[in-house]
Structure 1
């Protein structure tokens, strides 16, 4: 399998149907899904019919996928996935950064390492001008990753969600980084 991006410890690879069982286990950990769906379980059908098609989608404007499976470079161990996908399939100018890692990978710097590498690739190779990332306001772990990766808080908002989960009453936050700000920090 062709590696999309490598860091010191991580390999980001295109997803395949063979990743379904790892994705199912990831999405069935209530702690991993706490800020996504309140920790509810995910079915194998949902992985097959919704998750895999999203992860397998190629974006014409960048010529790449928008999601990558992340594995430890030295062992091949599945750690989760990263997202850097254009908000519009026809225009790479704005891309959304995201990540979902197995609980055993939390607190080890993997999310920050992968996020920084994707941001660098976005601005150097993919034609991206602005990277954004969103999370629930109460998700302090994810917010810290965004900050350590160089993104700044842009706004906070509250909305009425069809299926509110614990903490959603505090709203969501959006972080961002422009290519110009990224170049200035280098």
Structure 2
């Protein structure tokens, strides 16, 4: 199996430890995705155990451009407990846009964890990687993710079809943060 091409920086916040996702996180990621409420608004191979494992393994070990990839989220007060992940990856695997995303285990919902982790990724995207913008595709019924996008300052820019499902596209420009 190929190894991860480059190391991602730790992106810690006062409450959270964000570390590059590794194969050690695979079983926790698979368990999270098996919760139908967690993947309710996301197209993916969640119901096929073999395809699901291959999909997540590939996302962990594949090479991403410098500064991009997945970070596992853990609480600083419980560093052995997997809470979910955040991502900054080429949109649809190829770009040119870069997608920001988040997924948490259900018992971590409603505590501001996804917003706090995503905010750390926004700073990394704009200050370190020097991206001009990030995008997120969110189903309109996914009100929790929509709130996170709004907290980040993302704006609705249109509709897209991704993996055969309709999503609303949100975008945050680096210049939006400077103006605010």
TM range (shorter): 0.7 to 0.9
8 Å CA contact 2:23–2:60 kept in 1: the answer is: no
Count of matched residue positions in the alignment of Structure 1 and Structure 2: 173
Question: Per the alignment, do residues 88 and 38 of structure 1 end up closer, same or farther by CA in structure 2, a change over 3 Å counting?
Answer: closer
- Following TM superposition, the consecutive aligned residue runs of length 4 or more in structure 1 with deviations greater than 6 angstroms are 88-91
Alignment of 1:9-88 (within 5 A): 9-37=15-43, 41-43=47-49, 45-60=50-65, 63-76=66-79, 77-87=81-91
Query: Where in structure 2 are there 5+ consecutive unaligned residues?
Result: 1-6
Asked if 1 retains the 8 angstrom alpha-carbon contact of 2:135 and 2:172, the reply is yes
2:8–2:68 contact (8 Å) kept in structure 1:
no
Deviation of the 1:121 alpha carbon: 1.0
> Would the alpha carbon gap of residues 125 and 50 (structure 1) be closer, same or farther in structure 2, given more than 3 Å must change?
same
Q: CA RMSD in A?
A: 2.7
Mapping 1:87-106, distance limit 5 Å: 87=91, 94-106=97-109
Hey, what does 2:157 align to over in structure 1? Answer: 154
User: Is the contact between residue 14 and residue 67 of structure 1 (CA under 8 Å) also seen in structure 2?
Assistant: yes
Q: Which residue of 2 aligns with 1:113?
A: 116
CA contact (8 A) 1:123 1:129 kept: yes
Unaligned runs of 5+ in 1: 163-167
Change (3 A) 1:15 1:155: same
Compute the displacement of 1:125 (Å): 0.3
Instruction: Work out which structure has the larger RCO, using CA pairs closer than 8 Å and 6 or more positions apart in sequence.
Output: 2
TM-score, with length taken from structure 2: 0.84
- Counterpart for residue 6 of structure 1: 12
Q: Could you tell me which residue of structure 2 aligns to residue 126 of structure 1?
A: 129
TM-score by structure 1 length? Answer: 0.81
Partner residue in 1 for 2:174: 179
Q: SS state of the match for residue 8, structure 1?
A: coil
